[in-house]
Structure 1
């Protein structure tokens, strides 16, 4: 059993732009799997509020599809949830773990955040990758920090894949996460390889140009695509349980993963996220803020895969909740998906109202 003393813990003010410092002792044990099973705060963790747990169960049952929910109080450690311990496909949520792994290397002096990186034709990825459009005959020069911003704020796939290469690829990212105790969250593969495998393809360079990937995908037999998708959903390479994600987010918020400066930078990028403005963020009342990362998978046979949003919600009094809402595969129309995610954030805010003794305004 190893005792790790954490002297500087980043609390709610990090999301709002300031840092609040506190002392906390954290004990890592050998039991359980991932951070959620191995991280124990010295003081006993209270049970999750019964009213919130009941509300989440009601919301999940009413939605009528396979969903995973976890809500963790960052300060006290309790977690409420539904199907919170089973891995779900993360899709672009996994970009957050890549960014954290890179910032850990920055803290250790192994990567220069202002170091120049040149992207070439081999760095093209799939789907949304605006940085790839800047690659010309001589490549495109940028910095590690710019790639981090693009990956977290814009969810740029090419930026994320290049950051993974800076760490030695998927295996290098996995090792970095393991060293931080984040064994319950996976990245699994480069974005372009993950999307190709999910569709029933094997990545090849010309897929990164124009609509070549989509054309190759459409040319596949329906049975091939279905078999590939079923295999991915059964054992997602990028899988993570909602409870493991909120445990990792809580550790990030408390300053247990990165230096105070690196923690603040990651949270700032998450606060600027342009994706999913009507997911978790859409249900927040006035006075609340969010730092988050979304994930959106491919559509097939009338359904969407890996529709997710995870983040840190900060209440008006500075209390922080780590939240993950994940959909394995949903046939619901987009407005219903958004309404469900928003209902979870409203449930968290209503629970805060109860515990803070504040009457909800009409």
Structure 2
């Protein structure tokens, strides 16, 4: 039985002896997948950007993948990478203690478990601040990390050193929360978000220990269970970072999720879905992300 299973798994390799036919088949498959994704996006009643690729094979699909979308808390992913890069350089340590003044806390309208737990300020290790920011999407912790790393320009220099040009980290969370327009200055193209996920998966830009640390924080994140994870089989490993804005006059500027999904084959699907300026309710916006992920999963698993 095991021999039969192995033979069935390798049958596509035999078919690849007909390259022209294979290329045509792949193009048709991608075209069909893109059409399915485009149909699913209609329910969001907004602008949806998608990029997805199987990192080991290069199979890819995009929809509005080269357009900028506001990241909101997705930007804590590159900030986290920049902090861990400085840990690798010896400029920071995971155990060092950072003073957090209550004046650094984001507004009550913004998400901050650290602020809620320590309303008068606190001291926290770099490791704890990373957990708050990346796993729990804490805006206050993210701003403290941005401060100790040297500000947004340092994060941008790090991204550019990795060849990442179409992700813009410009403002603090406090600034983003003070003016609805500011979030649009902190944007990413879905294709570039996937490119950064590839950098992380392939171990570029971080030491092995720092890469493992960041992936663990992203896997353990409790946020957005109904987005990328929503329709995937129970137990699927997903290292991801969500982002989302408030709703003003019935329009939600950002409902996002980007991540690396481990597939049954052991290969890795890097996917970014950004839902912007949408009129649909929260449940529908999250369902759109989950449904897009599922149709990609079903096509390539």
Which residue number corresponds to residue 104 of structure 2?
Answer: 123
Structure 1 residue 254: Cα displacement = 1.1
State how far apart, in whole Å, the 2-side matches of 1:189 and 1:64 are: 28
State how far apart, in whole Å, the 2-side matches of 1:258 and 1:51 are: 37
Counterpart contact for 1:73–1:322, Cα < 8 Å = yes
Q: Could you give the per-residue CA deviations for residues 172-217 of structure 1, whole angstroms, max 9, x where no partner exists?
A: 222222222222212210000112122xxxxxxxxxxxxxxxxxxx
Q: For 1:135-150, list aligned pairs within 5 A.
A: 135=118, 139-150=121-132
Which residue number corresponds to residue 81 of structure 2?
Answer: 100
2:166 is paired with a residue whose SS is: coil
State how far apart, in whole Å, the 2-side matches of 1:316 and 1:154 are: 27
Q: 1:112 aligns with which of 77, 93, 96?
A: 93
Counterpart contact for 2:44–2:279, Cα < 8 Å = no
With structure 1 as the length reference, what TM-score do the two structures score? 0.71
Structure 1 residue 287: Cα displacement = 5.2
Q: Could you give the per-residue CA deviations for residues 229-269 of structure 1, whole angstroms, max 9, x where no partner exists?
A: 4xx57xx2111111110111111111112111111111110
1:311 is paired with a residue whose SS is: strand
Which residue number corresponds to residue 246 of structure 1?
Answer: 194
Q: Does 1:260 align with 2:241?
A: no
Which residue number corresponds to residue 173 of structure 1?
Answer: 155
State how far apart, in whole Å, the 2-side matches of 1:79 and 1:283 are: 20
State how far apart, in whole Å, the 2-side matches of 1:63 and 1:113 are: 40
Which residue number corresponds to residue 157 of structure 1?
Answer: 139
Which residue number corresponds to residue 60 of structure 2?
Answer: 79
With structure 2 as the length reference, what TM-score do the two structures score? 0.85
State how far apart, in whole Å, the 1-side matches of 2:39 and 2:217 are: 33
- Name structure 2 gaps, 5 residues minimum: 1-25
Which residue number corresponds to residue 337 of structure 1?
Answer: 285
In the superposition, relative to structure 1, how do residues 348 and 131 fare at CA in structure 2: closer, same or farther (>3 Å)?
same
Counterpart contact for 2:44–2:278, Cα < 8 Å = no
State how far apart, in whole Å, the 2-side matches of 1:115 and 1:163 are: 12
State how far apart, in whole Å, the 1-side matches of 2:97 and 2:199 are: 30
1:282 is paired with a residue whose SS is: coil
In the superposition, relative to structure 1, how do residues 136 and 50 fare at CA in structure 2: closer, same or farther (>3 Å)?
closer
State how far apart, in whole Å, the 2-side matches of 1:340 and 1:296 are: 14
Q: Could you give the per-residue CA deviations for residues 1-54 of structure 1, whole angstroms, max 9, x where no partner exists?
A: xxxxxxxxxxxxxxxxxxxxxxxxxxxxxxxxxxxxxxxxxxxxx978343233
Counterpart contact for 1:303–1:331, Cα < 8 Å = yes
Which residue number corresponds to residue 41 of structure 2?
Answer: 60
Counterpart contact for 1:157–1:191, Cα < 8 Å = yes
Q: For 1:1-362, list aligned pairs within 5 A.
A: 49-61=30-42, 63-126=44-107, 127-135=110-118, 139-198=121-180, 229=181, 232=182, 236-286=184-234, 288-353=236-301
Counterpart contact for 1:285–1:346, Cα < 8 Å = no
State how far apart, in whole Å, the 2-side matches of 1:121 and 1:113 are: 22
Structure 1 residue 135: Cα displacement = 4.3
State how far apart, in whole Å, the 2-side matches of 1:287 and 1:119 are: 36
Q: Could you give the per-residue CA deviations for residues 116-157 of structure 1, whole angstroms, max 9, x where no partner exists?
A: 1111133212311121245466x4111000000010111111
Structure 1 residue 62: Cα displacement = 5.5
State how far apart, in whole Å, the 2-side matches of 1:108 and 1:181 are: 19
1:281 is paired with a residue whose SS is: coil
State how far apart, in whole Å, the 2-side matches of 1:78 and 1:86 are: 20
RMSD: 1.9
